[in-house]
Amino acid sequence: METKTLQLIHGLLIQSHQQLRFQVNRITPMLKKLQLTSHSVKLALDMVASVV
């Protein structure tokens, strides 16, 4: 009985871990794009600030 429960919990953990990894893999590129965007915005603002 206990082993069955442990196996079930283990299976669920593996499943949710894989889903998490999948979501992280999907989100990471978006985050990188966002970082690049915010970086270029910051650069643009710095340039504007130095002109003004």
Q: What pLDDT, on a 0 to 100 scale, did the predictor assign at position 2?
A: 87
Full domain range(s) for residue 36: 1-50
CA separation for the pair 42, 20 (Å, rounded): 31
Mean pLDDT of 22-43: 93
As a whole number, the mean pLDDT across the chain is 93
Q: Which amino acid is at 2?
A: E
Does pLDDT of 38 surpass 90? Answer: yes
Read off the pTM. 0.54
Query: How many helices (H) and strands (E) in the chain?
Result: 1, 0
Does pLDDT of 1 surpass 80? Answer: no
Domain count, the chain: 1
